[in-house]
Structure 1
């Protein structure tokens, strides 16, 4: 949100704030939400949601909105339910993960299951792992191999009750097939499927409409118009070349929506595709100044495009349909200064039903139900809260700024800070991972809120190389690890100090690339930071770029050969730069206290990165604080580990900043 909008939010928070004897416990921020997913049935008469409330594990609950009866349809003692979708008014599909076992286990095959809304007739459709017993109830020879994934659940129209979903088998080539969720039987998809497909994109009815193919180092985008059997080539480029546009969505009538950069270095816009000109239409459909278009086309059960949900600093929706525009206004009026995301059924009809997720920086979210034809009383009713134990008045405000970096470049920055704080606060500069991703969106975010609750102002820069802020900002990060990218991080803190937001007490922290940046911050700017915390951190650029055979990581060979030399550095041509910007090679320059944490099963940044830096620092006479988690990969998933690390980080920061 803009700073002006945030001031209104801050004022409201101050009115409702109460003095806190102690900050909330760490578990409040990191435990599973009370409502993780919520999906309306095709008719809008039932609501399926996932929750761990009163059960320990995340299960599936179905609520009949007419009677108010709730049924716990699926609940396991050793697995958590995720990715719930309605197949029809009676049948649902979902997957499962064992989150408590750690992220290494959660990276496995989640499987696919079907069940009726009343909790009966559960059928495993895709194997979760090699087992065929236990409470997940494999039926011998019926469940498909884990190389099958769910591609699309077709939209259900009035009077329909189809039980099939569209799957895709990946055995070196992509093969779509229809799967019956009641019998487990499969049948082939009629019509031609492009050879060498690496991505298949169906419409709302499950008909293949677009595809990406890869052959001989050439990437092609294909399109098949409604009612046609032949495929039309939209473009063909080198595998690692920049595509002329990205396919963002389409409707069942054959409108294709694409995002593209209208000029060199410009931010991406959304346009319709002109098939006669074989290019995006000259006049964009949606422009988000200062931000790349990032969003989804909303299509109803009849395959009509209703609007576009997109993100700038915060999420918003541009509706095409007048009834949805009116509903958005009706939701926004009593719930101002919030994001109100609409999910509708029978959209725009006299008996429309909608579920609104309303959230803000202070509030993880409330669910509101809208029924155009209620049985009695108001059309609006509250359906639940995402996190019941989070008090919005106790949470911090998050706002977005654009500042100027030392070389004159635009630098987006997020600030999270308690509303009742007075004057400059000790700062935690929290650097996002990736690095080629977007770091933040205006919302309630557990990590930043936890740190703010401990009395810190959290500074999160969208340093050059981050996505979402224009092509020029992204490409300015190429070959700038530890250099201009790192200067952006330092400049964000210096700006916050000059503005009186942050004091001269600061630590730098982050995970993955963010952990790398935390280490290089201590190397490059020792006078700026009193301490650093790096978890899952890259420490050795040569190891990252070279990837010796004995290192068990998941970085692909093509990525190392074709992309990393351009984006990070060439092992031969940039050898001096790589050494100068590898924390393990500069370990003697890290003099501030350092907390290092790793997942022992991490395949993105293997544990050896941390072990090498620990050894180098020990040899330099500077022992870091060290912690590892046996069951974790590239991220801490188990609640016990998330809370343990948060508490260690809290104690570490308090020791050096308070």
Structure 2
């Protein structure tokens, strides 16, 4: 028999080797699972806190925490087949919420149950809006529930001496192919409805109401034009504020206060960026100077009100920011930021600024999805003012995450171009790059916070480049309009310029792949066709591939784009007839012969935003060109993969695909 013994020196060297081996990156579930804490809302008095969470269960449920001494926790709603979302307090004892199936594919024909009301102790659960024909409430009846085409608009503040039992719904319909909405009141205890009796212009699709639910402004559509109407304080007649084409609206009404002030956003003549201000009824125009501006960024946010009083404004610049107009809340925000440094601290409160204020703070940054803290201005005897409630994603270790930075670079034509870079903190030298292109494209891609896809890719050893190419919103009107009719052209050049800049800066190596969804998928396909030597591979999912099909449609391909084709796509993308040559020159299905790099192409089989036909045509064109893609479809999914198993499966496939064609640097 042969024996083997290790000396102390040998054992020490083996232990040292083991300790220096790189740790495995976090699994995909860390990045793409549902959060441990979703919503957190204080009751009107601040004595209770409603939370949504799936901890200890297979579905997201509703939990109510009593903030009085003893901190009793009640699991109010826990379904075995549905998840709780969009929770709101109606009064101190009753809540409304929606049930949906987060585990079901996004395009499934089996719809979620609908809108419900329940007491804070879990009793008297009642269906208010029905989205299936066979769902039965706990009392065995759902015959009086409203049809699926009702959505929650707002919950009013109670009148003096009253307990609120009413919520305001919007009944959705169509007029001449355009969506319109009609308000209706619903009692959450009895299920009874009453008509909204206040006169308002017809064909309204957007309502601005005060904190009691009285309509004060509305947007309507007539003959493919948008009109804004306002009901001035103390008046009974509506005033039309403008009548314009859809893309030429001079301002947007966003809120109204109890003092009658109408708040609007607009782009002033002397500034390229959208600001928030009040509307001047005498001058018939937005007031100058604005109430809130974010230099370098468009205003994008909402009013923070309590009891009809505007306390502040929450908006997004490079990150979320809160502008408090109330001096007491300004001081409290400063105290919180000092207590929780290096974090963005978002405050929700009751009796805001008062000595007995109750507040919930979400404290987060680019490495950390966040932690919730409870503040009680006058805590019970023996309790601290501050208490930790829990982490948003317990599996995420902030020390394992990567930093996110925004740079402003010059595109080839001199236009300023925002570019976001996610890069492992301990990285040295250039890394293989993944260019991640956002969808839309008329939206903003990134803000300074924890982002699942970018963090997942960075954890695998890549530097992630995310350009806010022209056409993106949030960076000024000129930047947005510079993207008109530039699909595959200047918009695509911006994507290329962002990668070349990162390579010149030593952040990215000469090895890169490109990926994205929807428009980002289109940009992926065009990147492989337009710059075939720049990318080693591409990943495109739910991707637009045929511009003619996008702007013109086909009767045999069902989709949801008919209204956009009539009102916006001719100007944003191109006219099917007048711009036919330009559209053909920038349509990926016609450029398959140029695409040499390996491609992962994935679609949802029930997508009506970008129908599966786009994918099939692209796949067939690549096969004919001798470059078949790696083809993947998910049954039941629509424009995005929402089922948990599909999210994780797709992440694993992307990781393996990139590892084959773009070997990562060890994270």
Contact 1:132 1:138 in 2 (8 A): no
* Aligned positions of 1:294-309 closer than 5 A: 294-300=300-306, 302-309=307-314
Distance change in 2, residues 1:319/1:264 (3 Å): closer
From 84, 88, 93, the equivalent of 1:85 is 88
From 188, 209, 212, the equivalent of 1:202 is 209
Verify: 1:94 aligned to 2:101, yes or no: no
Q: In 2, Cα distance between the equivalents of 1:72 and 1:576? A: 60
Verify: 1:123 aligned to 2:130, yes or no: no
Q: What is the match of residue 655 of structure 1? A: 660
How far 1:256 sits from its partner (Å)?
A: 1.4
Q: What is the match of residue 53 of structure 1? A: 55
Structure 2 segments unaligned to the other structure (5+ residues): 1-19, 175-179
* Aligned positions of 1:235-250 closer than 5 A: 235-238=242-245, 240-250=246-256
Q: In 2, Cα distance between the equivalents of 1:400 and 1:110? A: 42
* Aligned positions of 1:547-566 closer than 5 A: 547-556=553-562, 558-566=563-571
Verify: 1:438 aligned to 2:444, yes or no: yes
How far 1:109 sits from its partner (Å)?
A: 5.9
Q: In 2, Cα distance between the equivalents of 1:256 and 1:564? A: 31
Comparing 562-571 and 505-514, the one that deviates more:
562-571
Q: What is the match of residue 17 of structure 2? A: none
Verify: 1:625 aligned to 2:627, yes or no: no
Specify the SS of the correspondent of 1:430. strand
* Aligned positions of 1:587-626 closer than 5 A: 587-626=592-631
How far 1:625 sits from its partner (Å)?
A: 0.6
* TM, length-normalised to structure 2: 0.93
Distance change in 2, residues 1:108/1:267 (3 Å): farther
Comparing 221-230 and 574-583, the one that deviates more:
221-230
From 326, 329, 338, the equivalent of 1:324 is 329
Contact 1:191 1:229 in 2 (8 A): no
Q: In 2, Cα distance between the equivalents of 1:158 and 1:263? A: 43
Q: What is the match of residue 21 of structure 1? A: 23
Q: What is the match of residue 6 of structure 1? A: none
Q: What is the match of residue 311 of structure 1? A: 316
How far 1:528 sits from its partner (Å)?
A: 0.9
Q: In 2, Cα distance between the equivalents of 1:448 and 1:347? A: 36
Contact 1:36 1:51 in 2 (8 A): yes
Q: What is the match of residue 527 of structure 1? A: 533
Q: What is the match of residue 156 of structure 2? A: 154
Specify the SS of the correspondent of 2:302. strand
How far 1:477 sits from its partner (Å)?
A: 0.6
Specify the SS of the correspondent of 2:248. coil
Specify the SS of the correspondent of 1:221. strand
Specify the SS of the correspondent of 1:423. coil
Q: What is the match of residue 265 of structure 2? A: 259
How far 1:264 sits from its partner (Å)?
A: 7.5
From 367, 378, 383, the equivalent of 2:389 is 383
Contact 2:130 2:147 in 1 (8 A): yes
Cα shift readout 1:402-436 (whole Å, capped 9, x = no counterpart)? 00001110000001111111111111000000001
Contact 1:98 1:106 in 2 (8 A): no
Q: In 2, Cα distance between the equivalents of 1:506 and 1:84? A: 43
Distance change in 2, residues 1:482/1:260 (3 Å): same
Q: In 1, Cα distance between the equivalents of 2:240 and 2:140? A: 42
Q: What is the match of residue 188 of structure 2? A: 181
How far 1:271 sits from its partner (Å)?
A: 1.3
How far 1:285 sits from its partner (Å)?
A: 1.2
Distance change in 2, residues 1:224/1:645 (3 Å): same
Q: In 1, Cα distance between the equivalents of 2:135 and 2:536? A: 53
Specify the SS of the correspondent of 1:494. helix
How far 1:265 sits from its partner (Å)?
A: 7.4
Distance change in 2, residues 1:193/1:457 (3 Å): same
Structure 1 segments unaligned to the other structure (5+ residues): 1-17
Verify: 1:406 aligned to 2:409, yes or no: no
Q: How many aligned residue pairs are there?
A: 637
Q: In 1, Cα distance between the equivalents of 2:200 and 2:61? A: 37
Verify: 1:168 aligned to 2:170, yes or no: yes
Contact 1:99 1:106 in 2 (8 A): no
From 64, 67, 70, the equivalent of 1:65 is 67
Q: What is the match of residue 234 of structure 1? A: 241
From 506, 509, 516, the equivalent of 1:510 is 516
Q: What is the match of residue 7 of structure 1? A: none
